[in-house]
Structure 1
Amino acid sequence: MKRNPELTVRPLAGLPMFATGMSIAQAICVGLEAEGDRFRDGDILVVAQKIVSKVEGRARDLHTFTASEEAHELSRATGREPEMMQAILEESSQILRRTPAAVIAAHRTGHVLANAGIDASNVEGGDAGRVLLWPLDPDASARALRHEVQVLSEVRIGVVIADSMGRAWRIGTLGTAIGCAGLAVLEDRRGRAQDLYGRTLQATVIGIADSVAAMAALAMGEGAEGTPVALVRGCERWVTEEDGPGAASGLRPIEQDMFR
């Protein structure tokens, strides 16, 4: 019987408070070196979306959004401020559901999540209306981060940008890959593997990038832990030479979506 890999997840502590223009790659390499470690070939670097958005200057003050009539209508339906509704509209391609608890939106990248990923937690000035938007192109951000780390470390790694997202029919959020480079997003085992009794698998497609993101998110934490980066080891078989198609390749095509 084939032995499964032994996986380890290590949150990286001691990182700076990231701000616009800072290098995430350099800070991580310095942090690893300070702990007597360095990147190894086949490592996967998982980075929280928030620090990517911060260094890319994606913070906005809600008062800078001019609410449209659609935003005012959403505000009346949800009881939330019109400027927040306008921010969600500008980050979305479609509003799918609206309740006082959350607005479920199809983000312009194709991901479906609450409030188009706009969040004020762990954001300086969040109580005063400062929010973070997602990176403009999370997959491009992952590719750029991977390139910089590989230049600095001289080894081949994978990169995942993760955010916490809800799931249909389930309570609780889960770390999810919104950007990916150098890692298999999916492993399609249909027609290629067998179960214990020799039956060929017919429907199994494993979400590799999302599984890595979920595992790392547990180690990084969601609150005041201050560890927005984790290093995952043991997944070398899924780390690729090329950047690959990105996390967007794991989105279900709209014609296959049974929930809309």
Structure 2
Amino acid sequence: MSGLPAGVSVLPVAGLPEFAPGDDLAAAVAAAAPWLADGDVVVVTSKVVSKVEGRLVRLEPGADREAARQRAIDAETVRVLARRGPLKIVQTHQGWVVAAAGIDASNVASDTLVLLPEDADASARRLRARLRALAGVDVAVVVSDTFGRTWREGLTDVAVGSAGITALDDHRGALDAHGNRLETTRIAVVDELASAADLVKGKLAGVPVAVVRGLPVRRPADDADEGTRPLVRLPADDLFPYGSRDLVGSRAPANDLVPRPGDREAAAAAFRVASAALPEFPVVLRHGGEGDGAVDVHLPDAVTTTSALNAGALVGAAIVQLHAEGWATRWEPAPGAGGTSLVGRLWLGGPAL
């Protein structure tokens, strides 16, 4: 139909084989998509990248698959943020915060688990260079994976690796049509591309690669290509470092939280309000002997890993609630608690003005 405006096309790459370690992914894509052109964005699922790179866990015959999966999750985890039953929300070596460390058991043999690529940005760079050599085209590459989303049901694909494209389109400082200056707007372009590509790849169709065509994208110089690193939120910018009821508390002092002077009784009352929301945690709160708003956190039973984690969960949830109400906090683990019941001291400053 003539007269249609120019737009963006999302094209599936059909006819790709089942991949195995050592396979030439770029050669398969080039053969299946001889129509690739300069400026295209090739979006490939992390699973096939992991397969060709050998990022697999093979189970022994008769092995407990769930136990093996939990061991693999632990090996890929640098920090556990939350836990509910067997479900863990963790931070991976790559910096991603994701359920089960991104380890997948779907679309794979029953005796195999698939890990995330070790360095999906490097994988994307290699695939881009190989496609250039084989097909003579200058394309960008996005490696995608399926993530859940905070506070929203449903899954969507996001980028875990990229090359030849600027991951974040930064509009800060620009003026909108009404003359308002944008202060925080940065668009995660590679995430949007990953999600769009999944509309034609799907989870059950066996199409692991798609091509997005017609989108003008910013292309960094090869020596300035940061891949997806700009998408990883740094701790200083993280407003939600703690979870809630199912949180696994950090055991490091919150050095970035500076207490403010305030009324001790009011601060202690605020802490009790926050802790009352979590009665299942066996923690006793008592006033400390030093400073305004110091509250000592004790366990009524012997200090064990479980009771200490539960204490950390309550303290973390209380800190979140206190911050939401404008209180300043600083958590100090008790040094050498040993066999005592003292876990640490929460310093509570006055409400922010």
User: What residue in structure 1 maps to residue 105 of structure 2?
Assistant: 120
User: What residue in structure 2 maps to residue 14 of structure 1?
Assistant: 15
1:88 aligns with 2:73: yes
Maintained 8 Å contact 2:69/2:113: no
DSSP-derived class of the 1:238 partner: coil
User: What residue in structure 2 maps to residue 24 of structure 1?
Assistant: 25
**1:241 deviation in Å?**
4.3
DSSP-derived class of the 1:237 partner: coil
Aligned-partner residue type, residue 11 of structure 2: R
Maintained 8 Å contact 1:157/1:239: no
Aligned-partner residue type, residue 234 of structure 1: G
- 1:216 is matched with which residue: 190, 194, 197? 197
User: What residue in structure 1 maps to residue 181 of structure 2?
Assistant: 200
- CA shift digits 1:36-91 (9 cap, x unpaired): x2x21111000001100100111113459x99xxxxxxxxxxxx943322211111
User: What TM-score do you get using the length of structure 2 for normalisation?
Assistant: 0.63
CA distance in 1, matches of 2:77, 2:86: 18
1:225-240 superposed matches below 5 A: 225-240=205-220
User: What TM-score do you get using the length of structure 1 for normalisation?
Assistant: 0.85
Maintained 8 Å contact 1:139/1:246: yes
1:42-121 superposed matches below 5 A: 42-63=39-60, 81-100=66-85, 102-121=87-106
CA distance in 1, matches of 2:117, 2:38: 27
DSSP-derived class of the 2:33 partner: helix
Maintained 8 Å contact 1:184/1:238: yes
User: Which structure exhibits the higher relative contact order, with contacts defined as CA atoms closer than 8 Å and separated by 6 or more residues?
Assistant: 1
Structure 2 residue runs without a partner (length 5+) = 242-353
CA distance in 2, matches of 1:90, 1:101: 15
Name whichever of 198-207 and 182-191 sits farther off.
Answer: 198-207
**1:13 deviation in Å?**
0.7
1:184 aligns with 2:166: yes
**1:153 deviation in Å?**
2.0
DSSP-derived class of the 1:236 partner: coil
Aligned-partner residue type, residue 142 of structure 2: V
> Runs of at least 4 residues of structure 1 off by over 3 A?
none
Maintained 8 Å contact 1:93/1:108: yes
**1:248 deviation in Å?**
2.0
CA distance in 2, matches of 1:62, 1:237: 42
Cα distance 1:28–1:203, how it changes in 2: closer, same or farther (>3 A)? same
Aligned length: 235
**1:101 deviation in Å?**
6.0
Aligned-partner residue type, residue 136 of structure 1: E
User: What residue in structure 1 maps to residue 253 of structure 2?
Assistant: none
Indicate the structure (1 or 2) with the bigger Cα radius of gyration. 2
Cα distance 1:43–1:241, how it changes in 2: closer, same or farther (>3 A)? farther
DSSP-derived class of the 1:155 partner: coil
DSSP-derived class of the 2:22 partner: coil
Aligned-partner residue type, residue 115 of structure 1: A
- CA shift digits 1:107-154 (9 cap, x unpaired): 110001010011110002x2x4x2001111111111111110111122
Aligned-partner residue type, residue 184 of structure 1: T
Structure 1 residue runs without a partner (length 5+) = 68-79
Name whichever of 55-64 and 104-113 sits farther off.
Answer: 55-64
CA distance in 1, matches of 2:99, 2:60: 21
Aligned-partner residue type, residue 41 of structure 2: I
CA distance in 2, matches of 1:30, 1:259: 45
- CA shift digits 1:20-51 (9 cap, x unpaired): 11111100111113xxx2x2111100000110
Maintained 8 Å contact 2:165/2:217: no
**1:5 deviation in Å?**
6.7
Aligned-partner residue type, residue 196 of structure 2: M
